[in-house]
Amino acid sequence: MANNTTHTIEYQSLSKTLLILLFLTFVTITIASVHLGAFTLAVALLIACVKSFIVLSNFMHLKYESLLLRILVGMVFVLFALIVAITFIDYAFR
């Protein structure tokens, strides 16, 4: 039966993940005060994406889940990105 199949992640690995996340947070904040023009938003979003990827794969155990689930999660994000992009086809070309 498909019970208790979740992979166990060691404490150390979790705390390492936290350190990386904290570091990335630090980077976002410092970069925000540097003026990069239009890139600021892009960089902030990029870092946020990296962070959420780390949370998803480590904290949420996605790294160890079935391929199917990983694909589904990916598709949800792609769908959302498509919806935003398509809405912008209207707003960007007004």
Partner 1 sequence: MSNVSANSEYVSYLDHHGKYKGIMSWIMATDHKRIALLYMYSIMTFFIIGVVLGIMMKLEMLTPGETIMKAKMYNSVFTLHGILMIFMVVIPGLSAVFGNFFLPIHIGAKDVSFPKLNRFSWWIFVVGSIMAVLSQVLKDGPPDTGWTFYAPYSTTTSSNVIMATAAAFVLGFSSILTGLNFIVTIHQLRAPGMKFFNMPLFPWALYATAWIQLLATPVIGITLLMLIAERAFHIGFFDPALGGDPLLFQHLFWIYSHPAVYVMMLPAMGVITEIIPTFCQRQIYGYKAVAVSSLAIAGVGFLVWGHHMYTSGMSDTARWFFSLLTFIVAVPSAIKVFNWITTMYKGSIDVKPPFLYALAFIFLFIIGGTTGLLLGSVATNVQVHDTAFVVAHFHYIIFGGMGFAFFAAIHYWLPKMYGRMYDFKMANIGLVINFIGFNLLYFPQFVIGIQGMPRRYFDYPAKFQPAQLVSSIGGFILVTGLIIMIYTLVKGARKGAPAPANPWRGSTLEWQIPSPPSVENFDEEPVIKENPYDYK
Partner 2 sequence: MSQHTAHIEEHRDDEASKLGMWLFIFTELLLFGGLFLVYSIFRMQYPVEFRECSLELSVTIGAINTVVLLFSSMTVAMSMTAIQKNDMKKALLYIGVTLFCAAIFLVNKYFEWSGKFHHGLYPGSELMKLLDRGHHLYFSLYFFMTGLHALHIIIGMTLLFVCFFKMKKQSIHSQDYVLLENSALYWHLVDLIWIFLFPLMYLIS
CA 32 to CA 54: how far, in whole Å? 21
Q: Which among partner 2, partner 1, none contacts residue 93 (Cβ within 5 to 8 A by kind)?
A: partner 1
- Of the CA atoms within 13 Å of residue 69, those in its CB half-sphere come to 9
Q: Pick from 3, 6, 33, 90: which binds partner 1 (CB under 8 A)?
A: 90
Does position 93 interact with partner 2 (CB under 8 A)? The reply is no
CA 11 to CA 59: how far, in whole Å? 11
Secondary structure (3-state) at 38: coil
Does position 93 interact with partner 1 (CB under 8 A)? The reply is yes
Angle CA(40)–CA(55)–CA(71) in degrees, nearest 5? 100
60-89 mask for partner 2 (x: CB under 8 A)? x--------x--xx--xx--x--xx--xx-
Amino acid at 83: I
Q: Looking at residue 60, what DSSP letter applies?
A: T
Contact set with partner 2 (CB under 8 A): 1-6, 8-11, 14-15, 17-18, 21-22, 25, 28-29, 32-35, 40-41, 44-45, 47-48, 51-52, 55-56, 58-60, 69, 72-73, 76-77, 80, 83-84, 87-88, 91-92
